[in-house]
């Protein structure tokens, strides 16, 4: 069983617990649910760097990255850095995240917020909207083509944008649909956790121009981003590179300044 398989198995158990304790009707009554969302796609397009900065305390491959700084400090720092989007991991067991983190981020910024989660059910999409997300992540590696369609259409119906994460051409071909806004090429193999930026370079030529295109994972220096920009990428999802520092926001600011 791969790490991804383990995470999905855990997620199924957690999902049932959430459904048993909080109904969709209760989620829809939460104050944030009715708010108008901010467009992550537009924010990326209107930025010269397109960086989505991530709040990430730990990961299955790296263990603890940074759990000593408060999310308030991280979000405040990312705000000051002028990032295009903020990704908030809400998985607790494997990443030490929470829905509370998502709500804190929402209340602190007008930068578009992405819920980074292993979404397998429409319930989690309603949950994302209720806690302040502007966009959700779907991972093609753990979803059927039919499920990608139904989940993305659910998200769009309540005003959320959809970022689909792909790792190969087969996954890409299954998600070229109208209800997807952003296609992210993950350079990390979720089965082996090996990172190879060549994955992005190999796949971008197959992504139609009407999608926003981002590269994810393993990005650590401005030269890489400039090169990937030349290949046609609009933006980049970066977490560990900022979070491994004592002041992630300051690191993001300095990184963006080096891109100018």
Q: Which residues are catalytic?
A: 54, 56, 116, 165, 186, 216-217
Asked if 47 and 235 count as a contact pair (C-beta separation under 8 A), the reply is yes
Q: Tell me how far CA of residue 119 lies from CA of 12, 51, 71, 114, 115, in angstroms.
A: 10, 22, 22, 12, 10
Beta-carbon contacts of 162 under 8 Å, excluding residues fewer than 6 positions away, are: 135, 136, 138, 151, 152, 155, 156, 179, 180, 181, 182
The answer to whether residues 143 and 162 touch, using CB atoms and an 8 Å cutoff, is: no
- The structure tokens listed for 10 are 């855990």
Q: Say if residues 217 and 211 touch (Cβ distance below 8 Å).
A: no
Helix (H) or strand (E) holding 125: helix 122-130
Identify whether the C-beta of residue 142 lies closer than 8 Å to the C-beta of residue 4: yes
Q: What distance lies between CA 51 and its chain's CA centroid?
A: 11
């Amino acid at each position: 069983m791969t790490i991804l398989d383990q995470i999905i198995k855990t997620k199924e158990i957690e999902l049932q617990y959430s459904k048993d304790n909080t109904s969709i009707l209760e989620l829809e009554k939460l104050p944030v649910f009715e708010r108008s969302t901010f467009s992550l796609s537009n924010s990326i397009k209107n930025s010269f760097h397109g960086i989505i900065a991530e709040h990430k305390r730990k990961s299955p491959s790296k263990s603890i990255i940074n759990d000593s700084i408060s999310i308030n400090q991280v979000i405040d720092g990312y705000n000051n850095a002028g990032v295009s989007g903020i990704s908030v991991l809400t998985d607790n067991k494997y990443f030490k995240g929470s829905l509370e983190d998502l709500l804190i981020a929402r209340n602190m910024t007008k930068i578009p917020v992405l819920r980074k989660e292993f979404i397998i059910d429409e319930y989690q999409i309603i949950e994302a909207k209720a806690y302040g997300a502007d966009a959700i992540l779907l991972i093609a590696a753990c979803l059927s083509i039919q499920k990608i369609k139904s989940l993305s259409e659910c998200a769009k119906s309540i005003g959320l944008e959809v970022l689909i994460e792909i790792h190969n051409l087969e996954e890409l071909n299954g998600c070229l649909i109208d209800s997807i806004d952003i296609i992210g090429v993950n350079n990390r193999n979720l089965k082996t956790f090996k990172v190879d930026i060549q994955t992005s370079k190999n796949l971008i030529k197959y992504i139609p121009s009407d999608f926003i295109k981002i590269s994810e994972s393993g990005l650590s220096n401005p030269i890489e981003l400039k090169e990937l920009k030349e290949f046609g990428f609009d933006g980049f999802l970066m977490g560990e590179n900022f979070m491994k520092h004592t002041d992630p926001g300051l690191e993001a600011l300095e990184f963006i300044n080096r891109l100018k």
